[in-house]
């Protein structure tokens, strides 16, 4: 049993009318132009080109390239289009199987129905529709269940009841069950199976490197300085990602989210973008990304239960936020290869770390250790204030 | 890139082969990444792989492993026409391609390890001497390599200064062949004189090699006790110099020159010496140093199953404390000489106090300041003192340094390795009931810093495991190896 790597994949890169309804895709990439010299230009695809997932051959190539990198499946968006749920999964379904499957990110904040109270029958019917949308392709399961990430876990009108409804609907439709992930920085609650680290724009533990003082603000207002300094947030990549991964025991059961780079200025034309920066102004530094991914996989092995060990890679084709690992004209296959190498290295290390023959400590003993450590910490702190250590 | 073409005297198009340094897969087109292997070792390995795939080939066209060359590029250079032994060089005499007969590898492969790989003229003369026939030197005057980088994208850690070492050793080999009629029986010696942990790894590697090429090891004489205890299969050639200081005050090439001077002609002209200090970036791959050293010593290690790192040692190789399981006694070595290598002070205090509350007896090497937190400080700066101290404890917990590597690899004692700035897989690796490594798996690991944390600017390393993580690991190991249950 190895650590799964699931990559977010935007299925809007296809010509079907259903996909076009959501915008995005290649036209959005072509239309996005940086408003500042501090906004890195978006990457342009190389190798796979501007593929159309609706074409079987293109979808096959995309999946084959992802498999070759060691990726175990894609996470695709699940959206309510006013009449039904749409995932774009049908385009990928023929190329999925037990070794490469799909997980789902439910954009529930766009699904107003679930944000307000409704009658039980109505809720059941909507839950059934949602579950049907998750059954179109082979799953990339965790604990043997179909993975559904809830994008805004607290936005559901009655969270516990909504979760119960979804689980019931999954059972009724013969799915092996739902593995529900709460996208958020809080420890898992409300009956979710685990938490998923939020994206870079949603969770910043370190401080931005650009904090203009009053004088700089005056210069910006006078038009003497780029307003991006005041409007967007820039973070050094290494400090940003390391800060997210320290003291993980406080996060509870949480799956790591890994990303090679991030700059979402196209989604924030009026400011408010999040941008990760590297030395020399490079939008991506493959070396650090490689370490991030490799270590996240090792962490997942050591902190998550067997069968639930996964890392989420943002992203396969997030061209509009600079997080894609697909080969680009600017970076060639450096980022793709960094992902491939990191996954291979981590999987090799995991092979050398077969658990010992004995069972882990019983839960009661573990709890006792927590109390003892707490007491020890208090004694040490007291000592630091001048008390006796002995 | 690791590349070559297989040609046959019978004609035909020949066949190109591209291999890569492995990230861990060890797939059929991958070769183990070994930081202690000189470039000539990779030339030998590429030849072995090609010969296995092209049994009818009698001529091998081998790209210099130091260069990012691919088979398609070689074909463009029309090297197929070069069927007699040839060294193809750039305009400045840096070797690009070696055209060599298959029988050289089948019959005298070890002598290929003596090639400099950085001086085409020298290598041409050396090959001529080994083959006993003319070897052509062909220069491509239209191509100039320029300065060889200190660090390359393919993981070489070189620079022209370091490459002088290869040249000097190739020149010595040439001199041996020219002056000693019995040169084919001259022993091969490894140049890897320091540091203590590395000596332990080389000794372990030497024991695992099935078909030894090397019989001698140039090693600092200050490590006599380690060499004796580590049971190396290589006979030591003592180098009477202190080991290379870790503060960077003396460069490796400078030390190497002094070492040859100190060894004198008696050693230099009676041994074929191969440079096995680091030629590649040691953090480029994730293979354990023992496996990297096994590769350097000539093992091909083509599958993951063949690696030492993935196997638990035989039952006879694991020792354990003879004392009753309770009270549990744990020995720590948590001081690495520089702040960034030390296990964080506050974490140590909390951990030691917690262990004391659980009735565990804690000893720590060289840290009287921690006695106030329930530990007993002791000295163990000699191998025998360390062995005695370890024998009085059930479990050893140590940083990535000599005591840890000695206790794990020589004594086989139940050990927990702590890793902060250095790669656990390279220096720890290989879990079983008697051994595991711990770190926090932060995205900065391994940074290799020796001067404070490059991310947070602190003196201590944030990647060390938390007290909770370490306490749990100690008690799990105590339960698995000794049946110890806290409070029982």
pLDDT tens digits, A122-135: 999 999 999 999 99
CB contact under 8 A, B468 and A346: no
In terms of Cα–Cα distance, which of B254, B227, B248, B249 is closest to B238?
B227
Residue B389 has pLDDT above 70, yes or no: yes
* Radius of gyration for chain A, computed over Cα atoms and rounded to the nearest angstrom: 22
Residues A308-340 pLDDT 10s: 999 999 999 999 999 999 999 999 999 999 999
* Residues B320 and B349 occupy one common structural domain: yes
pLDDT at A390 (0 to 100):
41
The structure tokens listed for B35 are 């930081």
Across chain A, what does the average pLDDT equal? 92
Q: Is B274 left (phi over 0), alpha (psi -120 to 50) or beta?
A: beta
Residue B482 in domain: no
Which alpha helices (H) appear in B55-155, and where do they start and end?
A: 71-76, 102-112, 120-131
CB contact under 8 A, A292 and B354: no
Domain termination residue (choose one: B310, B335, B359): B310
* Residues B370 and B452 occupy one common structural domain: yes
Residue indicated by tokens 């009661």: A364
The Cα-based distances of B46 to A96, B157, B158, B342 in angstroms read: 37, 20, 20, 41
Residues A70-114 pLDDT 10s: 999 999 999 999 989 999 999 999 999 999 999 999 999 999 999
Residues B133-185 pLDDT 10s: 999 999 999 999 999 998 898 899 887 788 999 999 999 999 999 999 999 99
Distance CA B485, CA B474 (A): 11
Asked whether B203 and B231 are in contact (CB, 8 A), the reply is: yes
* Radius of gyration for chain B, computed over Cα atoms and rounded to the nearest angstrom: 25
B351 — contact with chain A (CB < 8 Å)? yes
Whole domain around residue B436: which residue ranges?
A: 315-476
Residue B210 in domain: yes
Which residues are registered as beta bridge partners of A194?
A: A181
The structure tokens listed for B138 are 């062909």
Distance CA A41, CA A263 (A): 9
- For the CA atoms of A83, A84, A86, A90, what is the dihedral angle to 10 degrees? -120
Residue B464 has pLDDT above 80, yes or no: yes
Nearest CA in chain A to B25: A344
Question: How many degrees, rounded to 5, is the angle at CA B308 between CA B306 and CA B311?
Answer: 90
In this complex, the residue of A344, A353, A373 whose CB is nearest that of residue B471 is: A373
* Residues B139 and B223 occupy one common structural domain: yes
* Residues B56 and B194 occupy one common structural domain: yes
| A360-369, B42-51, B86-95: range with lowest mean pLDDT | A360-369
A22: confidence class by pLDDT, cuts 50, 70, 90 = confident
| A152-161, B280-289, B468-477: range with lowest mean pLDDT | B280-289
In terms of Cα–Cα distance, which of A139, A157, A161 is closest to A148?
A139
Asked whether A6 and A297 are in contact (CB, 8 A), the reply is: no
B475 — contact with chain A (CB < 8 Å)? yes
* Residues B367 and B467 occupy one common structural domain: yes
B432 — contact with chain A (CB < 8 Å)? yes
Query: A86: burial class by Cβ within 10 Å (0-12, 13-18, 19+)?
Result: buried
Helix A120-133 vs helix A159-172: crossing angle, to nearest 10: 60
| A58-67, A191-200, B23-32, B219-228: range with lowest mean pLDDT | B23-32
Restricting to B residues 307-346, those with a Cβ less than 8 Å away from any Cβ of A are 307, 309-310, 312, 346
Asked whether B287 and B32 are in contact (CB, 8 A), the reply is: yes
The structure tokens listed for A216 are 């700089």
Residue B454 in domain: yes
* Residues B232 and B334 occupy one common structural domain: no
Across chain B, what does the average pLDDT equal? 93
Q: How far apart are the first and last CA of chain B?
A: 58
Residues B298-338 pLDDT 10s: 999 999 999 988 776 665 567 899 999 999 999 999 998 88
Q: Of A13-27, A275-289, B254-268, which one has max mean pLDDT?
A: B254-268
Sign of the alpha-carbon dihedral angle for A170, A175, A179, A182: negative
Domain count along chain B: 2
Sign of the alpha-carbon dihedral angle for B155, B158, B160, B165: negative
Chain A interface test: which of B20, B23, B155, B471 (most A C-beta within 10 Å): B23
- Whether domain A4-358 has CATH 3.20.20: the reply is yes
Chains A and B form CB pairs within 8 A to the count of 150
Mean pLDDT of B396-402: 96
* Residues B156 and B295 occupy one common structural domain: yes
Break chain A into its structural domains and give their ranges: 4-358, 360-390
Residue B129: count of CB within 10 angstroms of its CB: 18
Domain termination residue (choose one: B310, B328, B343): B310
* Residues B71 and B163 occupy one common structural domain: yes
Asked whether B239 and B257 are in contact (CB, 8 A), the reply is: no
Distance CA A112, CA B106 (A): 74
Residue A389 has pLDDT above 50, yes or no: no
Residue B388 sits in a domain of what CATH number?
A: 3.40.50.2000
Distance CA A264, CA A322 (A): 7
pLDDT at A358 (0 to 100):
62
Residue B434 in domain: yes
pLDDT at A251 (0 to 100):
85
* Residues B62 and B197 occupy one common structural domain: yes
* Residues B303 and B365 occupy one common structural domain: no
Residues B418-453 pLDDT 10s: 999 999 999 987 788 889 999 999 999 999 898 899
Residue B484 in domain: no
* Residues B403 and B389 occupy one common structural domain: yes
Residue B486 in domain: no
CB contact under 8 A, A296 and B357: no
Which own/partner contact pairs does A126-129 have at CB distance under 8 Å and 24+ positions apart? Answer: A127/A162, A127/A165, A127/A166, A127/A168, A127/A169, A128/A169, A128/A172, A128/A173, A129/A84, A129/A85
Asked whether B474 and B395 are in contact (CB, 8 A), the reply is: yes
Nearest CA in chain B to A297: B441
pLDDT at A386 (0 to 100):
54
Residue B297 in domain: yes
B203: confidence class by pLDDT, cuts 50, 70, 90 = very high
Coil, strand, or helix at residue A291? Answer: helix
Residue B9 in domain: yes
Distance CA B109, CA B105 (A): 4
Residue B462 has pLDDT above 90, yes or no: yes
Domain termination residue (choose one: B249, B280, B310): B310
């Amino acid at each position: 049993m190895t650590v799964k790597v699931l990559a977010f994949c935007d299925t809007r890169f296809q010509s079907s009318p259903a996909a076009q309804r959501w915008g995005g895709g290649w036209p959005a990439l072509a239309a996005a132009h940086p408003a500042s010299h501090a906004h890195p230009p978006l990457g342009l695809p190389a190798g796979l080109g501007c593929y159309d997932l609706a074409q079987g051959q293109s979808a096959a190539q995309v999946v084959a390239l992802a498999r070759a990198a060691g990726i175990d499946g894609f996470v695709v968006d699940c959206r309510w289009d006013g009449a039904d749920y749409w995932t774009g999964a049908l385009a990928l379904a023929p190329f999925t199987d037990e070794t490469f499957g799909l997980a789902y990110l439910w954009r529930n904040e766009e699904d107003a129905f679930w944000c307000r109270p409704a009658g039980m029958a109505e809720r059941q019917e909507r839950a059934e529709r949602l579950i049907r949308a998750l059954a179109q392709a082979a799953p990339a399961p965790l604990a043997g269940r179909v993975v559904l990430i809830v994008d805004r876990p607290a936005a559901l009108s009655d969270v516990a009841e909504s979760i119960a409804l979804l689980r019931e609907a999954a059972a009724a439709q013969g799915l092996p069950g739902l593995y529900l992930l709460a996208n958020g920085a809080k420890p898992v609650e409300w009956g979710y199976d685990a938490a998923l680290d939020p994206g870079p724009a949603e969770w910043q533990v370190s401080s931005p490197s650009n904090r203009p003082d009053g004088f700089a603000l005056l210069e910006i207002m006078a038009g003497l300085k780029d307003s991006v300094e005041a409007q967007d947030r820039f973070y050094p990549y290494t400090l940003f990602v390391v800060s997210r991964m320290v003291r993980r025991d406080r996060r509870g059961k949480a799956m790591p989210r890994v990303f090679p780079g991030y700059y979402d200025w196209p989604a924030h034309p009026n400011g408010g973008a999040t941008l990760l920066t590297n030395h020399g102004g490079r939008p991506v530094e493959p070396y650090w990304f490689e370490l991030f991914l490799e270590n996240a996989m090792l962490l997942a092995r050591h902190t998550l239960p067997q069968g639930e060990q996964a890392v989420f890679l943002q992203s396969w084709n997030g061209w509009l936020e600079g997080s894609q690992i697909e080969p680009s004209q600017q970076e060639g296959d450096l980022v793709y290869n960094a992902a491939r190498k990191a996954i291979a290295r981590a999987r090799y290390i995991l092979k050398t770390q077969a658990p010992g023959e004995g069972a882990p400590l019983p839960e009661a003993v573990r709890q006792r250790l927590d109390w003892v450590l707490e007491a020890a910490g208090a004694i040490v702190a007291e000592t630091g204030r001048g008390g006796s250590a002995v | 890139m690791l590349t070559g073409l297989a040609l046959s005297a019978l004609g035909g198009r020949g066949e190109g082969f591209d291999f890569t340094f492995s990230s861990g897969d060890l797939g059929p087109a991958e070769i183990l990444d070994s930081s202690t292997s000189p470039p000539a070792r990779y030339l030998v390995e590429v030849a072995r792989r090609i010969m296995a795939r092209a049994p009818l080939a009698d001529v091998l066209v081998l790209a210099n492993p130091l260069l990012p060359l691919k088979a398609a590029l070689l074909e463009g250079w029309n090297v197929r026409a070069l069927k007699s032994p040839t060294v193809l060089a750039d305009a400045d005499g840096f070797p690009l391609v070696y055209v060599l007969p298959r029988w050289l590898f089948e019959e005298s492969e070890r002598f290929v390890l003596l090639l400099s790989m950085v001086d085409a003229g020298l290598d041409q003369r050396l090959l001529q001497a080994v083959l006993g026939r003319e070897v052509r030197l062909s220069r491509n005057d239209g191509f100039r390599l320029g300065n060889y980088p200190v660090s390359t994208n393919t993981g070489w850690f070189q620079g022209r200064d370091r490459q002088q070492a290869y040249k000097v050793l190739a020149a010595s080999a040439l001199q041996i062949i020219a002056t000693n009629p019995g040169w084919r029986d001259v022993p091969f010696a490894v140049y890897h004189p320091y540091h203590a942990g590395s000596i332990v790894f080389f000794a372990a590697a030497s024991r695992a090699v099935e078909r030894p090429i090397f019989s001698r090891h140039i090693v600092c004489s200050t490590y006599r006790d380690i060499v004796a205890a580590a049971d190396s299969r290589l006979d030591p050639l003592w180098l009477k110099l202190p080991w290379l200081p870790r503060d960077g005050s003396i460069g490796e090439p400078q030390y190497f020159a002094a070492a040859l001077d100190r060894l004198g002609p008696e050693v230099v002209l009676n041994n074929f010496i191969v440079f096995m200090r680091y030629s590649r970036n040691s953090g480029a791959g994730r293979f354990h140093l023992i496996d990297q050293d096994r590769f350097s010593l000539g093992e091909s290690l083509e599958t993951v199953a063949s690696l030492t790192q993935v196997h638990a040692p035989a039952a006879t190789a694991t020792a354990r404390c003879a004392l009753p399981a309770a009270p549990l006694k744990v020995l720590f070595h948590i001081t690495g000489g520089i702040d960034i290598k030390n296990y964080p002070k506050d974490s140590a205090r909390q951990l030691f106090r917690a262990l004391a509350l659980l009735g565990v007896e804690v000893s720590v090497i060289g840290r009287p300041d921690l006695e106030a937190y329930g530990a007993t400080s002791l000295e163990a700066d000699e191998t025998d003192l360390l062995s005695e101290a370890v024998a009085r404890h059930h479990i050893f917990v140590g940083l990535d340094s000599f005591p840890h590597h000695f206790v794990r690899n020589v004594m086989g004692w139940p050990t927990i390795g702590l890793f902060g700035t250095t790669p656990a897989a390279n220096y720890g690796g290989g879990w079983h009931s008697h051994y595991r490594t711990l770190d926090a798996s932060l995205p900065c690991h391994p940074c290799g810093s020796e001067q404070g944390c490059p991310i947070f600017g602190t003196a201590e390393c944030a990647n060390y495991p938390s007290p909770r993580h370490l306490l749990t690991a100690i008690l799990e190991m105590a339960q698995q190896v000794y049946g110890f249950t806290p409070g029982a």
